[in-house]
Amino acid sequence: MNPAAETSHLFYQTGQRRPRLARTEGIYLWDVNGNRYLDASSGPMVSNIGHSNPRVLEAMTAQMNRATFGYRLHFENDAAEELAARTAGLMPTGLDRIFFVSGGSEAVESCLKLARQYALTQGQPERWKVISLFPSYHGSTLGATAVTGMRPFTEPFAPMMAAMPKIPAPTCYLDHDDLTLEERGLRYASLLREEILRQGPETILAFIMEPVGGASTGALVAPDSWHQSVQEICHEFGVLLILDEVMTGAGRTGAFMAAEHWDYQPDIIAMAKGFAAGYAPLGAMAARRQIVDAVMSKGGFAHGYTYAGNPLACAAGLAVLQEMERLDLVNAAHQQGLKLKAMLDRLMCRYEFIGDVRGKGLLLAFELVADRQTMEPLPTALNAHVELVEEAYSRGLIIYSRRTRGGLTGDHFMVCPPLITTDQQLEEIIGLLTESLDAFAGRHGLSCDTAA
Ligand SMILES: Cc1ncc(COP(=O)(O)O)c(C=O)c1O
């Protein structure tokens, strides 16, 4: 175990320890030893507007000077009311009821419970199964874990959860067949129909998915045909559609909600991460008015959190939305995303072991493979997903990685800088990433065309 971990009372997921944070500004962070880090993953795809934004800090200070906490059963507060109104205006049509939480897992948990209570109000108590994708990640509370498709995070807890049906995520880039991309999309969508029929349509409460894949698949973008077809299938069987926009929401993909790219009309949406962009723990559930009204009219929503609608968190969220608008950051995500994607694509000429570059807006990732033709992953024992991140970290570049294939094998790397990243800073990211990839390739004897 790391010696620092032995002397500390603090623990997280693993024994790995990092230097202490001293200060942050824009897309950079500094540790207490004076080392600077470029935040090319926005933390875990959170810091969309960059760090230490003075206007957000000012709004939070003003709120702190008025009140930091007033329990929702005792007081309403302006910040929560204003943020709810503003958020409702940014959601797909009809989703104008907002429920605040403190993070993504709480948001997903709330979606699952609201959907279930709605089914009860409709006289459909047999509807409780929520279909999700494999791989997928929806959070770490038990309800969210039950719909997550990532073995290392789910298997230890399997006996404690109701087993929820999974269908394969639309990983068309791995398929070797004669179908067009759109045909593949339809084939993956047909798996949803098959699963609904197999389980019994009357038992299916909802289908939950990320409109663009997050950390579990590495920014997976399904073909348009998939998006259209899964919506139609949900509609056909009266299955509620829950979009998990915890990572994709708040501008990250070049639209305020990724739902807009495919004109989704979901029933419920979960969001967090970029919503308050790391300035405060905040997330939200947005739901159709008739769903909320039905639940409210039958005694109310049997679910809630102490910090829901916290004035300080909501003031931060409101200021973040105002900054996104003032700086036109949704458009920036689109524009800078196109540039960064092109730069990552070019790295494929230099490194044969980059098998795929994908994503939308500034939700981008690249995947390493042993063979680009077969898309066979690098040997698991190589631990590329850890090693390359460490190469980059030692050069002051932060990227975010996961195992691609169900959390067990495969290595992908999220390159998702804040939406304020300039052209010059994109170059800086690619420069540091190239140095890191060169070092990684050199150590493992992987082919690298330095002239490319
Ligand atoms: C798509 C998605 N849903 C839910 C969550 C859980 O969010 P949190 O870690 O804030 O609880 C995450 C976190 O990475 C996520 O990416």
Over residues 284-296, mean pLDDT: 98
pLDDT digits (tens, 9 = 90+) for 93-130: 999 999 999 999 999 999 999 999 999 999 999 999 99
pLDDT digits (tens, 9 = 90+) for 133-191: 999 999 999 999 999 999 999 999 999 999 899 999 999 999 999 999 999 999 999 99
Over residues 284-294, mean pLDDT: 98
Over residues 309-336, mean pLDDT: 98
Q: Name which of 300, 350, 274 is nearest 107 in CA terms.
A: 274
pLDDT at residue 1 above 60? Answer: no
Residues with CB under 6 A from ligand 1: 44, 103-105, 108, 137-139, 210, 214-215, 244, 246-247, 272
pLDDT digits (tens, 9 = 90+) for 375-392: 999 999 999 999 999 999
> Which residues are CB-contacts of 5 (< 8 A; sequence separation ≥ 6)?
11, 15, 16, 17
pLDDT at residue 423 above 80? Answer: yes
pLDDT digits (tens, 9 = 90+) for 158-170: 999 998 999 999 9
> Which residues are CB-contacts of 289 (< 8 A; sequence separation ≥ 6)?
94, 96, 97
What long-range pairs does 121-125 form, CB within 8 A, spacing at least 24? 121/294, 121/295, 121/297, 121/298, 122/294, 124/202
The percentage of the chain sitting over the pLDDT mark of 70, rounded to a whole number, equals: 99
Question: Residue 112 has what pLDDT?
Answer: 98
Q: How far is CA 266 from the centre of its chain?
A: 17
By the 8 A CB rule, do 131 and 206 touch? yes
Atom 9 of ligand 1, nearest CA residue: 104
The model's confidence at residue 447, banded by pLDDT at 50, 70 and 90, is: confident
Report DSSP letters for 411-450, one per residue: EEEEE---TT--HHHHHHHHHHHHHHHHHHHHHHT--B-T
The model's confidence at residue 8, banded by pLDDT at 50, 70 and 90, is: confident
> Which residues are CB-contacts of 322 (< 8 A; sequence separation ≥ 6)?
55, 59
| CA of 245, closest atom in ligand 1 | 1
Ligand 1 centroid to Cα of residue 139, in Å, is: 5
The model's confidence at residue 2, banded by pLDDT at 50, 70 and 90, is: low
pLDDT digits (tens, 9 = 90+) for 363-379: 999 999 999 999 999 99
The model's confidence at residue 3, banded by pLDDT at 50, 70 and 90, is: low
Ligand 1 centroid to Cα of residue 391, in Å, is: 26
Determine how β-strand 204-209 pairs with β-strand 240-244.
parallel
CA torsion, ordered 30, 357, 450, 425, to nearest 10 deg: -30
Ligand 1 centroid to Cα of residue 46, in Å, is: 10
Question: Residue 405 has what pLDDT?
Answer: 87
pLDDT at residue 451 above 90? Answer: no
Over residues 6-13, mean pLDDT: 86
By the 8 A CB rule, do 201 and 165 touch? no
Burial (CB count within 10 angstroms: exposed 0-12, middle 13-18, buried 19+), residue 437: buried
Atom 3 of ligand 1, nearest CA residue: 138
Round the average pLDDT of the chain to a whole number and report it: 96
| CA of 105, closest atom in ligand 1 | 11
Give the mutation target among 13, 105, 132 for probing the ligand 1 site: most ligand atoms within 8 A of CB: 105
Cα angle, residue 340 at apex, residues 337 and 346 outer, rounded to 5°? 140
The model's confidence at residue 406, banded by pLDDT at 50, 70 and 90, is: confident
* Exposure b/e, 52-65, CB count within 10 A at least 16 = b: ebeebeebbeebee
Give the mutation target among 41, 47, 137, 275 for probing the ligand 1 site: most ligand atoms within 8 A of CB: 137
